[in-house]
Amino acid sequence: MRRAAIHGLAFLGLMLPVGAEAQTATNLVALQGLATVSVLQATPEGRAALDANLTVTGDIQFGTQKQPHLLPLDQQRQLALRDAFITDGNATELADGLGSRLGAIYQDKARYADYKTFSNVTQSVADLLGYTNNITKSDSNSGKYFFANGTTDGKNPVSEAAKGIFAARGGVPDVFGKAYDRPGGSKGADAFGNSRPFQTLPQLYAYRGDDYFKHASHSLDWLHGPSQNLTDSPSYPSGHTTYGYTESVVLALLVPERYQQMIVRAAEYGNNRIVLGAHYAMDVLGGRTVALHALAHLLANDPAYVGQIRKNPAVIAEMSRQTNDAVAISDYRAALEAARNDLAMVLKDACGDTVAACAADDTSRFKDAAANEAFYATTQTYGLPVVHQNTANTVEDVGKLAPEAGYLLTAAFPSVSLAEANAILTQTQGPGGGFLDDGSAFGVYSRLNLYAAAGKAAALAASRRPQQQTTR
């Protein structure tokens, strides 16, 4: 069995994992799509992907893989430490993707005073974030114990419908634990299964720094505790990444002038979970896919996703109060439009110019489009090998497989039609055949390259815009 060589000092503590509730209809859709991981050990291609997953994760975590980060590696590690705290109540940690001027305005109004006390920019933005988080977190959290040991919370059985997901594929739980010599419950492993990288890697880079609240911290504080104890919290999929993409895309839709930069911030946030040692590349890809899939269905006003009064489940350890309050949205597009108008007024008033002009005035790490593109590209597939030959070297028609996906663009660029948006998503999609890309409507979301697609959609929208200066 592997023993990790940890470079740094450990601070140990205990925090009990929070279990998921019984699976909802939307949870079952996400579980079905994520379940491709459960059969990876059954084929040579799947086993090769699992091997690459551990190698790539270790190389990124230890710094031997030279990713084109937007910050020097030491600074990126410090950001990963700050990013470990989830600002799910107001998205403020992600709002630096709005640029140096707009990001500063947003973060000045949306603050966390402590772990549970926070403010929001406007109530409409707060409601939109709360409802959206509710949906995507629930889908992501439902997979944690399901893929670890086939339960809802580590001990209680899943529904018959959920059991059928494994049975139909011949899938098994605890794929990472079995593949990486850390089966659930064994020494040094997650008690339930799917042990995390800090439990399976042969070496781990650990370091000191400040946390989100500028308190002295250590990377191991956010793995073993006391800040967050992930020792018995199954790895797949990444809840942090689901949150990062969920709220980054919401901010992109609220401020379309910063769409591409917000997608880069989402990718950076997910990648920082690898940097910290909390997640594998596959976890991050799974978390991203869950978020994009659910967001598209929300934007389509799919009845399974809207028109409900929902409570917000915790990610791992609950970090906010307000998003656990009941939130109801019957028309998601209308709620988005209201929040966008309210936020635009706040930003314009504080900036003293149009949102577009202030969005362009940026001296942040996101100011270089070439650097943004280069970094995002490394996270599209993480270079993991092909698992599904049927989708490798093919172009999947997004409009036919997942026609609602186009709303991820049209909601930001309304002059672009749904058919045009899906054509753009099809044209810009990433490489096929990945472990999630099995030819299904869910799997195609793993191929979406929203960074490239947003660039094309914005250009098309700009070509149709009147020549006069925008007043937004």
Q: pLDDT by residue (tens digit) across 125-164?
A: 999 998 999 899 999 999 999 999 999 999 999 999 999 9
DSSP secondary structure of 191-246: SSS---HHHH-SEEE--EEE-TTS-EEEGGGGTBSSS-B-TTS--SS-HHHHHHHH
Could you give the 3-state DSSP secondary structure of residue 308? strand
Mean pLDDT value across residues 435-450: 98
Rounded to 10°, the helix 25-34/281-299 angle is 140
pLDDT of 471 above 90: no
The pLDDT, as a whole number, for residue 358 is 97
Mean pLDDT value across residues 417-422: 98
pLDDT of 339 above 90: yes
Q: What are the CA-CA distances from residue 349 to residues 28, 123, 125, 353, 358 (Å)?
A: 44, 17, 17, 8, 11
Q: Give Cβ neighbours of residue 437 (< 8 Å, ≥ 6 apart).
A: 387, 388, 391, 396, 443, 444, 446, 447
Token pair recorded at residue 322: 């307000």
Mean pLDDT value across residues 233-240: 98
Q: In terms of Cα–Cα distance, which of 277, 272, 276, 204 is closest to 241?
A: 272
**Residue 325 banded pLDDT, cuts 50, 70, 90:** low
Mean pLDDT value across residues 186-214: 97
Tell me the residue type at 274.
I
316 compared with 283, residue with greater pLDDT: 283
**Residue 116 banded pLDDT, cuts 50, 70, 90:** confident
The pLDDT, as a whole number, for residue 16 is 30
Distance CA 193, CA 208 (A): 28
Q: Residue written as tokens 């997650």?
A: 190
The pLDDT, as a whole number, for residue 18 is 41
Q: Give Cβ neighbours of residue 23 (< 8 Å, ≥ 6 apart).
A: 31, 142, 146, 152, 158, 159, 161, 162
**Residue 193 banded pLDDT, cuts 50, 70, 90:** very high
Could you give the 3-state DSSP secondary structure of residue 391? coil
How many degrees, rounded to 5, is the angle at CA 235 between CA 232 and CA 240? 110
**Residue 124 banded pLDDT, cuts 50, 70, 90:** very high
Burial class (CB in 10 A: 0-12, 13-18, 19+), 52: middle
Q: What are phi and psi for residue 55, nearest 5 degrees?
A: -65, -50
**Residue 3 banded pLDDT, cuts 50, 70, 90:** very low
**Residue 224 banded pLDDT, cuts 50, 70, 90:** very high
The pLDDT mean for the chain works out to 91
Mean pLDDT value across residues 353-361: 97
Distance CA 113, CA 402 (A): 41
The pLDDT, as a whole number, for residue 11 is 27
- Residue 281 · residue 53 · CB < 8 Å: yes
120-129, 196-205, 263-272, 357-366: least confidently modelled range: 120-129
pLDDT of 4 above 50: no
**Residue 1 banded pLDDT, cuts 50, 70, 90:** very low
In terms of DSSP H, where are the helices of 63-119? Answer: 73-83, 100-109
The pLDDT, as a whole number, for residue 451 is 98
Mean pLDDT value across residues 108-131: 91
**Residue 115 banded pLDDT, cuts 50, 70, 90:** confident
Distance CA 166, CA 305 (A): 24
**Residue 98 banded pLDDT, cuts 50, 70, 90:** very high
Q: Give Cβ neighbours of residue 459 (< 8 Å, ≥ 6 apart).
A: none
The pLDDT, as a whole number, for residue 265 is 98
312 compared with 249, residue with greater pLDDT: 249
The pLDDT, as a whole number, for residue 17 is 37
In terms of DSSP H, where are the helices of 150-196? Answer: 160-169, 175-179
How many percent of the chain have pLDDT more than 70? 91
pLDDT of 434 above 80: yes
Expressed in percent and rounded to 5, the helix, strand and coil fractions of the chain are 55, 5, 40
pLDDT of 14 above 50: no
pLDDT of 6 above 50: no
Q: Residue written as tokens 């635009």?
A: 344
Mean pLDDT value across residues 345-352: 97
The pLDDT, as a whole number, for residue 321 is 42
How many percent of the chain have pLDDT more than 90? 86
